[in-house]
Chains A and B, each alone.
Chain A
Amino acid sequence: MNLDVIISYIPLYIEAFFLTVKIGWLGIFLALAIGLAVAFVIHFKIPFLSGISIVYIELFRNTPLLVQLFFIYFGLPKVGFTISAETCGYVGLGLLGGSYMAEAFRSGFESVPKSQTESALALGLSRKQLFWSVILPQAISQSVPGILANVIFLLKETSVFSAISLMDLMFTAKDLIGLYYDTKEALFLLVVFYIVMLLPVSIIGSFIEKKARFRTLGV
């Protein structure tokens, strides 16, 4: 491997890294918001919306992200909505992620025993207070492992963004290989930057997971 080549590539990779991280995390936050809303609607059996939500989950869990991105990026302009590659990236990731996050939140909601609801209602709490003060905190600590697995999964899925010409890490690597044939160096940096993106998440994640576990289960 040629060190000079690597060094000369680094600035390009840093730029791509920040773009990937930005779109990745925007997508993840969108996924968390969608996931929580959808899980809520399904768990509390909100009429009409829960039907839509189930269709949404099945649709997005059972189609590849690449296909979803193509639909949004190339399909929407055909019906009159133009959308930038960046927006398409995080919206696509958010929609895919939302269907996975919904499952994580839902299993969290389900893990909270019914007796918790009854104790809270018996104390006079309103439905809203019951949700925010009693159910959600317990559900989230149960959902943490699932949410973290999804975060890592979604960050890895960013590698398909290159297909809609986003200048992300994958795109940069492919581009450089195509231009200069320094395959080894380009791939090496690709792996390094993905690890830099994911390793801290894994480490901080398992720490949060331990804390959440302790909070609810005491072990």
Chain B
Amino acid sequence: MEEILKVNNVCKRYEDITVFENMNLTVKKGEVVVIVGPSGCGKSTFLRCLNALEDIQDGEILLDGEKVDAASKNIGSIREKAGMVFQSYDLFPHLTVLQNLMLAPVKVKKRDKKEVEAEALTLLERVGLLTKKDSFPRQLSGGQKQRVAIVRALIMHPEILLLDEITAALDPEMVREVLDVVLSLAKEGRTMIIVTHEMQFARAVADRMVFIDNGRIVEEGNPEEFFDNPKTDRLKQFLQTFSY
């Protein structure tokens, strides 16, 4: 299968600390990779490197065959290929839901407004938020904001979606509505890298699990092996922290 993302020996350092070293990861088209690991182990930083929101100190990242580098001229069009949703629903507060969705396709892709609007409405309907199209973000619940944020990424037709703990800041009763959307995206064959602490969800959605600790990939594998038969002590300990 076609490789969408290739991470080769990537290293991320701040002045005196190394967040991770020698990271290697390949993601194929249609694959869902779920990354788990203790907080502070560098998951967010890793995702942010993938679309050059952070620079890397060593190695290289290829997205759809193109090198990801914040300094390159076409970084905008490279970033379009990786849709990102963050933990803290960062919709644009001064724009309505519909305007939030239309900004990038119209400004960046120079697509026709009418056509983008029609697509936005279809996508909003799909996530059950058609009635909110003229609301401002402040008028939405956390779960609704995250669903809009997912649609805002989708409407750019990315090759890969990067989801960073998108339910971590939500009230428990809203987690489900957001994860259901992600599951349906996985079913239709979207390529995704998902960072999450929702282990049941991870198991349901993942084609491959990756465990990061202390700045490196400690263990990876298919979800059944990963959860039922972890090989490393580190992963066993980590998984135990989720069971009561």
In the assembly, what is the distance between CA of A134 and CA of B95, in Å? 9
Interface size (A, Cβ < 8 Å)?
22
Q: Do B82 and A115 touch across chains, with their CB atoms under 8 A apart?
A: no
Which residues of chain A have C-beta atoms less than 8 A from B88's C-beta?
A: 115
Question: Which chain B residues border A129 with CB–CB below 8 Å?
Answer: 107-108
> Contact between A216 and B82 (Cβ–Cβ < 8 Å)?
no
Measured CB to CB, the closest approach of chain B to A110, in angstroms, equals 16
Task: Tell which of A49-57, A62-70, A116-124, A196-204 binds the partner.
Answer: A116-124
Interface string of A118-159 (1 = CB under 8 A from B): 111111111001000110011001000000000000000000
Known: A122-B51, A125-B107. 6 other contacts (CB 8 A): A115-B88, A124-B76, A137-B94, A216-B93, A216-B94, A218-B138
* Shortest distance between the CB of A133 and any CB in chain B (Å): 6
A119 to B152, CA, bound (A): 10
Complex A-B: 16 CB contacts under 8 Å: A119-B91, A119-B92, A121-B79, A122-B153, A123-B103, A123-B152, A124-B79, A125-B103, A125-B104, A126-B76, A129-B107, A133-B103, A134-B92, A138-B94, A216-B93, A216-B94
Known contacts A122-B53, A122-B82; is A215 also within 8 Å of B108 by CB? no
A122 to B103, CA, bound (A): 13
Whether B80 contacts A119 by the Cβ 8 Å rule is no
In B58-101, the 8 Å CB interface with A consists of 76-77, 79-80, 82-84, 86, 88, 90-94
Q: Classify the interface of chain A: helix, strand, loop or mixed.
A: helix
Measured in the bound complex, the distance between the Cα atoms of B152 and A32 in whole Å is 34
- A216, B136: Cα distance in complex, Å: 9
Please indicate the chain A residues that have their CB under 8 angstroms from the CB of B139 in the complex.
Answer: 218
Q: Is the CB of A118 within 8 A of B53?
A: yes
Residues in B neighbouring A217, C-beta threshold 8 A: 138
Q: Which residues of A are at the interface with B, using a C-beta cutoff of 8 A?
A: 113, 115-116, 118-126, 129, 133-134, 137-138, 141, 215-218
Q: Closest CB of chain B to A12's CB: distance in Å?
A: 47
The smallest beta-carbon distance between B86 and chain A, in angstroms, is 7
What 1/0 mask marks residues of chain B from 130 to 142 whose CB sits below 8 Å from any chain A CB? 0000001011000
Complexed CA–CA distance, A59 and B188 (Å): 62
What residue of chain A has the Cβ atom nearest to residue B48's Cβ? A118
Are B138 and A124 closer than 8 Å at their CB atoms? no
Closest CB-CB distance, B228 to chain A, in whole Å? 35
Bound together, the chains give a CA A200 to CA B112 distance in angstroms of: 42
Say yes or no: A138-B93 contact (C-beta < 8 A), given A118-B53, A124-B76.
yes
Shortest C-beta distance, B152 to chain A (Å), equals 7
Q: Does B156 touch A at the CB level, under 8 Å? A: yes
Q: Which of A118, A121, A122, A217 has the most CB of B within 10 A?
A: A122
A124 partner residues in chain B, CB cutoff 8 A: 76-77, 79-80, 104, 108-109, 156
**Which of A118, A125, A137 is within 8 Å of B90, CB to CB?**
A118
